[in-house]
Structure 1
Amino acid sequence: MTTADAAWRHAREHWLIPYGGTLLLIGLGVLALLYLVKGPLGSARNDGPRAIERFTRFERAAHWTNAIAFCLLAASGLAMAFGPGLLPLPDMIIDALKGLHSLAGPLFAVSLPLVLIIFLNDNVASRGDLRWLARGGAMLGGQQLPSHRFNPAEKIMFWWGMFFPGLISVGSGLALDGWIPELDDLRLAMPVVHLIHLAATLVMMAALAGHIYMGTLGVRGAYRAMRGGWVDEAWAREHHRLWHDEVVAGHIPARRSGAGPAAERVDDRAP
């Protein structure tokens, strides 16, 4: 074992895995506490007069492709990183996890840049974001503050939970998979690449755990919006008032794709 390999193993076993695992557990604990204290945000029913298209089919297809690939990578990566220390796994399962990781990796590498490009414009910082953050959005009070299509917390998640750690994860993952031949001859570089890859993916998992929570249990109607693409006008006004006002004023079309229930009310029975 080289000095670089020994340093990598020490950093992995004594720093990344214990502290990274603690970060994930603390994050999950905070989300559980948040749900118990605040519960789901938003009204139980939003019966607006018309529907607004929040996500097109193309946006949803890109999102779900990337989300599925990420979940497969996260599950297999966590099992390989933490499994041996908690529950030794048979070689056959380890090989299967490595195969799953290698298959999902290219799908994530292709879909991530697409998702970043699609949602980049709506995640640029705007006037009023600092005020929204200073007041904690809807977390510190009962009423949600006005926001554009994506609120400042979602913008932070986009940049620091997806954009930067995501690109680092993809780049380091491609290097580990042999897609950057120049690194194959640099044995000393591979432990560093491993270290960067694990650190970036742990940051991404922690951030996206919050994203998944807010998109399912945390905000009423959020999952329905990404599943079906449409929200009613009352939901848009409650959760993203500035975006809603732009739609009502005609600056943003209520229907952005070729077909959809533009004049119909969204089905409230879906979660």
Structure 2
Amino acid sequence: MNKLFKHLGVAFALLFSAVCFANGGEQAVAQASDAQMWAQLKDGAVGYTASKSEFHGQAINTYDLRVLDLRADWLAPALMAALFGMIAIFIVFIKINGISKLHHGFSGKMVYRWSKADVAIHWLGAIPCLLLILTGLVLLAGRFFIQPYLGEGVWAGLVNGAKQVHDVLAIPFMIGWLLMTVLWAKNQMPKMYDIKWFMVVGGYINFGPFKGKHPDAGFANAGEKLWFWAFAIFGLVISVSGMLLLFPNLFEPSRNLSLLALILHGVSAIIICAFSIVHIFMATAMSEGGMECMVSGYCDENWATQHHNLWFDEIKANGTLKYKE
């Protein structure tokens, strides 16, 4: 009986070893097969499918993975830096430098500068732009910088709301961008005196050799012109790429074009975001009396002579100077 159990034990051990060896071999073969399959897929190998869609025969697209890494590693942090980094820089700058005050105070005489239509166009572009930046921040960088601090339900509601607002406000932004670009370009052409404006930082520095320097400027100064053309160029890129992403069934872009649009959309958003923060601070906190221009369309006479002297001299000379009654 003992011999029988001994022989059965040996037989079981041999059988178990054989099964393990077979399974190990099959697993090794399967792993090798999987590695070969993924290598072929990454090289663009396709299979058979009954679907007629352009990309259904390709199991994976390696460009997708590269774009995801690019968005996560570069675009998301860059958009955060463009928004919060520029705000922090301006707060520190104003703390050290102070604002640009009117040397002779407010005159109380308000000069006509923008029409009511111009003011409306400005806000048509500005309000959607700000909301698109904030919602775009949630969509692009939220899962890295916001989601970890929220519950899943709150995050789901936030990102869904951001997506809806982003899509709805895209069209008003594009209309505002188009009207501003077409109607305002004539006053934004570079001039030789713009170089001097940059050399003395527009007269906004209150210390050192730059203090008290107020360079010549026409209707728009050099800084405003730089902002305008950045907004015009990258606004075009963000509008075109946004339309491709917003209406894929209408334009039917290729997969690679869609990925390119996604990248260009993010890069343009980062640039517009950074310029927008500069523009907002310069028009509000930095320039005493500057915000009034885009509220009523009028500016104080002393503000006009200090910041846009060539334009003020021009309207006095040609008889188009008009004061608020």
Equivalenced residue count is 254
Q: Which residue of the other structure, out of 72, 75, 78, is the alignment partner of 1:19?
A: 78
TM-score scaled by length of structure 2? 0.74
Please list every run of 5 or more consecutive structure 1 residues that lacks an aligned counterpart in the other structure: 256-261, 265-271
Aligned-partner Cα distance in 2 for 1:36–1:147:
26
- Larger relative contact order (CA 8 Å, sep ≥ 6): 1
Counterpart Cα distance in 2 of 1:263 and 1:108? 30
CA distance 1:42–1:179, shift in 2 (3 Å): farther
CA distance in 1, matches of 2:212, 2:92: 17
Unaligned 5+ runs, structure 2: 1-59, 148-153
In the aligned structure 2, how far is the partner of 1:21 from the partner of 1:93? 17
Q: Provide TM-score, normalisation by structure 1.
A: 0.88
Indicate how the Cα distance of structure 1 residues 173 and 35 shifts in structure 2: closer, same or farther if over 3 A, else same: same
Which amino acid letter does the alignment assign opposite residue 242 of structure 2?
Answer: G
- Partner in structure 2 of residue 175 of structure 1: 244
Deviation, 1:28, is 2.0
**In the TM superposition, what whole-angstrom CA distance separates every residue of 1:77-124 from its partner, at most 9, and x where no partner exists?**
111112111222532322211110111001111111101122111110
Give the CA RMSD over aligned residues.
1.8
> What is the one-letter code of the residue matched to 2:236?
L
Amino acid at match of 1:41: S
Between the aligned partners of 1:42 and 1:150, the Cα distance in structure 2 is 19
Closer, same or farther in 2 for the Cα pair 1:263/1:153, shift >3 Å? closer
- Which secondary structure does the structure 1 equivalent of 2:111 belong to? strand
| 1:153 corresponds to | 223
Q: SS at 2:158's partner residue?
A: helix
Moved more, 32-41 or 72-81: 32-41
* Structure 2 residue 67 is matched with structure 1 residue 8: yes
Per-residue deviation at 1:179? 5.9
Aligned to 2:43: none
Q: Kindly report which structure 2 residues correspond to 1:247-266, keeping only aligned pairs within 5 A, or say none.
A: 247-250=315-318, 253-255=320-322, 262=323, 264=325
Of 189, 192, 202, which aligns to 2:257? Answer: 189
- Paired residue for 2:47? none
Equivalent of residue 75 in structure 1, options 88, 113, 134: 134
Shift of 1:62: 0.2
Relative distance call for 1:19 and 1:67 in structure 2 (3 A) is closer
d(CA) in 2 for partners of 1:223 and 1:114? 21
**Taking every aligned residue pair, what percent have the same amino acid on both sides?**
24
Name whichever structure is richer in helix by fraction.
2
Partner of 1:105: 170
1:238 partnered with 2:306: yes
